[in-house]
Amino acid sequence: MGSELIQIIVANQPGLPGAPRSSSAAAGEAASFAAWGQVKERTATAEAWGAGRRPGPANAGQPPETVATAGTLKTFYIETFGCQMNVHDSEKVQGVLMARGMTRVENHHEADLVLYNTCSIREKAAQKVFSRLGVFRKGRTGSRKVIGVLGCVAQQEGERFFERAPQVSLVCGSASYSKLPQLLDQLETGKQRLTGLALDTEECFETEMTRRDNPFRAYLTIIEGCDQRCSFCVVPMTRGPERSRPSGRILAEARRLVDQGYTEIQLLGQIVNAWHDPSPARLSFAELLSRVAEIPGIRRVRFTTSHPRYFTSDIVQAIDANPNLCDQIHLPVQSGSTTVLARMLRGYTREEYLEKIHAIRQARRAISLSTDIIVGFCGETGKDFEQTLSLLKEVEYDQVFSFKYSKRPNTLVEGSRDALAEEEKGRRLAELQELQRQIQVRRNQALLGESFEVLVEGYQARLGQAVGRSTTNRVLNFPGTPEDVGRYLTVKVTSAGPNSLVGARAGSADLRF
Ligand code: 5AD
């Protein structure tokens, strides 16, 4: 790793008021909070948040730690795997559980109810579910432990879960989370084998009792589900049809978050820019961005994930007009070959995608760009792959999340026709990642001597290093103190590696809380 310092990432925050069991973005394949950064379970690291030193926003609006317990299920443990949507879903589920009087515990052994929120976007993630469930089986002697599976694998496997993992009593996909209170009531009466698997919903999972894990960044869902039919992707089958929340509700939630002390909001959606306003206000997505940004007290607004098909120039204009709309866009391209894009049913050509990039590059501020790439999609020829490499060279992304194609159940890709050997996929992935590493080293080194405003998200006592994030989503490590956590500071870049920057404090502290 050389001079690269380890990136501190979202982890549990024991010791902080309102600190629930959380998840963390993993280093490696997807080492950031960007759209779909793979999230892995992680043991609590108090250090990561400078625990106990600086609480996040006031606990106002958070469900209480404990209230009078309603039923037989008194404690719960929740573990989350997957994208930010999953992380935020788990925050909302925790709110529902706490609102009914349950207490969160940090250890699954101690929990009456164990919930596992799963991800099935790629085969590897889905495979892990059953082995992890095996671990949850062992409860306290004599305890009636109830195990529930949530999320995309729950939706995908449905009732088959009960055969493959007989210890499971509840299988519930995200489109049915609004039914969770009733399902929990039934579990408390001793019911076994309950499912929430309906996908034909028009509802969003609305709750005011969200238990937010990240003390600095509040996630806010604006659209659920997905109506695209990308031929590789399982999401429309696991998250149901698109449902946009009315602008009024979104703006009211954003204002509540500011009242609770949050200054950074991240709008979430599988395809966030497919949002359309179901209310008579009929705001466009770009207008919604501006309205959120105009709320007094908000310093940073991010949004993820955008689909190139719906990426319009008014979004760039909104970023230009509102300095607190972050200069960062995640725009998954998936492949640089128009032929492959057509087979993926992405709805744009290489040239059309590059036009959008060109529009983004015209913005007044230099906007940081990241993307997702699938390597080795069925029928991807050497020439197609070369096109992807040339696209990376042309765009020069600041970050790329790259994956080997894996066939997912019920997707439109037929059989294993034209499938590439795993070895070849691996070779292409390594080549692409090496190219991108060089691009990132070059781009990051060009930042030497520049100063960035960072929000300090963590402190590593062992290294005496504070870790901040710029508006462009760059990680900056710099000598600091635990008291820096939660502050906005100016940091000057003194050295640069491929994935993060090292710096020194350059500006005065601007207290946030
Ligand atoms: N195989 C590999 N990668 C996939 N992704 C989605 N489906 C698959 C699949 N079947 C990747 C895409 C997407 C990201 C979240 O995961 O790049 O943007």
Mean of pLDDT values over 210-216: 88
According to the model, what pLDDT value does residue 48 have?
Answer: 37
Q: What's the pLDDT at 67?
A: 37
CA of 109 to the centre of ligand 1 (A): 33
Length of the chain in terms of residues written:
513
For the cut 80, the answer to whether the pLDDT of residue 173 exceeds it is yes
Q: For the chain, state the CA radius of gyration.
A: 22
Tell which one of 121, 235, 238 to mutate to probe ligand 1, the residue whose CB is within 8 A of the most ligand atoms: 121
CA–centroid distance, 350 to ligand 1, in Å, is 18
Which residue's C-alpha comes closest to atom 7 of ligand 1? 233
Query: 76-91 pLDDT, tens per residue?
Result: 999 999 999 999 999 9
Ligand 1 centroid to Cα of residue 211, in Å, is: 28
> Taking residues 489-512, what's their average pLDDT?
85
Cis (ω within 30 of 0) for the bond into 69? Answer: no
Q: 230, 233, 378, 408: which to mutate for ligand 1, most atoms within 8 A of CB?
A: 233
Confidence of residue 18 (pLDDT cuts 50, 70, 90): very low
pLDDT tier at 135, thresholds 50, 70, 90:
confident
Q: Residue 63 above 70 pLDDT? A: no
- Cα 334 to ligand 1 centroid, rounded to whole Å: 8
Q: Does residue 10 carry a pLDDT above 50? A: no
Give 352 Cα–ligand 1 centroid separation in angstroms.
21
Ligand 1: centre distance to CA 292 (Å): 29
Quote the ligand 1 centre to 400 CA distance (angstroms): 13
**pLDDT score recorded for residue 195:** 96
Mean pLDDT of 397-423: 88
Q: Is 70 exposed, middle or buried (0-12, 13-18, 19+ CB in 10 A)?
A: middle
Quote the pLDDT of residue 423: 96
Residue whose CB lies within 8 A of the most ligand 1 atoms, among 36, 377, 391, 403, for a mutation test: 403
Q: Ligand 1, residue 401: give the atom nearest the CA.
A: 17
Strand-pairing partners, residue 399, are 370
pLDDT digits (tens, 9 = 90+) for 424-447: 999 999 999 999 999 999 999 999
CA distances from 188 to 146, 194, 299, 410 (A): 9, 12, 43, 34
**Per-residue pLDDT, 140:** 54
pLDDT grade, residue 127 (50/70/90)? Answer: confident
Q: Which atom of ligand 1 is nearest to the CA of 402?
A: 17
Token reading at 244: 């946009």
What pLDDT is recorded for position 62?
A: 55
Ligand 1: residue whose CA is nearest its atom 18: 372
Q: What is the pLDDT of residue 508?
A: 59
Residue with token string 């030497």: 448
Average pLDDT of the residues in 221-239:
95
**What spacing in Å lies between the alpha carbon of 380 and ligand 1's midpoint?**
15
Q: For 33, which DSSP code?
A: S
| pLDDT band at residue 308 under the 50/70/90 scheme | very high
The confidence band for 37, taking pLDDT boundaries of 50, 70 and 90, is very low
Which atom from ligand 1 is nearest to the alpha carbon of 407? 10
Element (H, E) at 194: strand 194-196
Averaged pLDDT score across all residues of the chain = 85
pLDDT at 232: 95
Distance 336 CA to ligand 1 centre (A): 15
Ligand 1 centroid to Cα of residue 122, in Å, is: 6
**Most confidently modeled of 4-8, 184-188, 246-250, 417-421?**
246-250
Q: Which residue's alpha carbon is at the smallest distance from atom 17 of ligand 1? A: 372
3-state secondary structure of 180: helix
The whole model's pTM is what?
A: 0.87
Does residue 27 have a pLDDT over 60?
Answer: no
- Of all protein residues, the one whose alpha carbon is nearest to atom 13 of ligand 1 is 372
Q: What separation in Å is there between the alpha carbon of 383 and the centre of ligand 1?
A: 21
pLDDT computed for residue 344 by the predictor: 96
Q: What pLDDT does residue 139 have? A: 56
Sequential DSSP letters for 219-261: EEEEEES-----TT--HHHHH-S-EEPPHHHHHHHHHHHHHTT
Cα 121 to averaged position of ligand 1 atoms, centre (Å): 6
Site to probe by mutation for ligand 1, drawn from 29, 39, 122 as the one with most ligand atoms within 8 Å of Cβ, is 122
b (16+ CB within 10 A) / e for 88-112:
bbbbbbbbbbbbbbbbbbeebebbb
Name every protein residue with a CB atom under 6 angstroms from any ligand 1 atom.
36, 121-122, 232-233, 332, 334, 372, 374, 403, 405-406, 408
pLDDT of 270 > 70? The answer is yes
Q: Could you tell which of 86, 232, 402 is best to mutate to test the pocket of ligand 1, judged by most ligand atoms within 8 Å of the CB?
A: 232
pLDDT above 80: residue 250: yes
> What residues contact residue 180 under an 8 Å CB cut-off, 6+ apart?
93, 96, 172, 196
What average pLDDT does this structure show over 328-343?
Answer: 97
Confidence class for position 72, pLDDT limits 50, 70, 90: confident
